[in-house]
Amino acid sequence: MFANRIAIVTGGGSGIGRAVCKLLAKENASVIVADRNVKSAQETITSMNGGQHVAVEVDVAKLDSIKSMFESVNKTYGSDEVVTLLVNSAGITKDGWMIDMKPEDFDQVLDVSLKGTFYTTQIACKTMIDKKKNDGGSIVNFTSVSAKIGNMGQVNYVAAKAGVEGLTRTVAREMVETVPEHIMQGMLLLTPLGRMGKPEEVADAIKFLLSKESSYITGAMLQISGGLFM
């Protein structure tokens, strides 16, 4: 499905990010597993199907680090190659009641989840346009149901994820002819199905969103919530 496609997955060293990396590799994509913990990223590659994959250490809160990540594409695959699949799954939590939250804890969560998503999306879009990838590409950003309903003790996380929703819809409007983009809601909450969601279940949905079969979807939000909003 993704032969001759290059993918970047941030937060690929664990959890849903790792599951996405493994699934993309199974579908013959070349995957850049990006994570702040490069050892975890390398462990992800060890678990993946054979292919030209690479582990990259990246701090998505820092623009220079993200630029270096994209430069690794040229070093690994050649100057004419470009990332056409991007999955922004990197994120952190720094929980605490709003009234007691430290400014640095608020800022750090927004830097990773919101600004990091913006930086990677911006560079990916610019690269596709500059290198005239007329067949476009696909970007999947992770948000959370808490962006809609709030969650006590997570004012920073909720603000960041609500920002990601607005960012994604706006980018989709601006780039609609170049980069179809989607919002993915990966939830780990008890639901009407009576169980936790599995990373592999989210990964399967992401595979669809990244494929040509989803070409008529852009700026949409897919809730993988086990029926929470029935």
Confidence of residue 133 (pLDDT cuts 50, 70, 90): low
Domain assignment of residue 160, yes or no: yes
Q: Which domain holds residue 164?
A: 6-224
Domain at 97, CATH number? 3.40.50.720
Residue 86 lies in a domain: yes
Q: Is the pLDDT of residue 179 over 50?
A: no
With 90 as the cut, is the pLDDT of residue 230 above it? no
pLDDT tens figures, 193-221: 455 567 777 788 777 887 877 777 776 67
What is the pLDDT at residue 39?
A: 96
Q: What's the pLDDT at 226? A: 63
- Residue 87: what residue type? V
Which residues are catalytic, by number? 157
Taking Cα atoms as reference points, which of 48, 70, 47, 73 lies closest to residue 58? 70
Give mean pLDDT, residues 150-179: 87
pLDDT band (50, 70, 90) for residue 185? very low
Mean pLDDT of 37-42: 96
Would you say residue 191 lies in a domain?
yes
Whether 124 and 137 have beta carbons less than 8 Å apart is answered as yes
Domains identified in the chain, total number: 1
**What is the per-residue pLDDT across 105-127, written as a single tens digit (0 to 9) for each?**
999 999 999 999 999 999 998 88
Total H helices, total E strands in the chain: 8, 7
Residue 159 confidence (pLDDT): 97
- How much is the average pLDDT of 174-200? 54
Is residue 1, in this structure, part of any structural domain at all? no
The answer as to whether 230 is a domain residue is no
Give a yes or no: residue 152 inside a domain.
yes
The owner of tokens 């819809």 is 169
- Using CA atoms in the order 150, 152, 155, 157, what is the torsion angle rounded to 10 degrees? -70
Residue 131 in contact with residue 144, Cβ under 8 Å?
A: no
Residue 229 lies in a domain: no
Asked if residue 171 is part of any domain, the answer here is yes
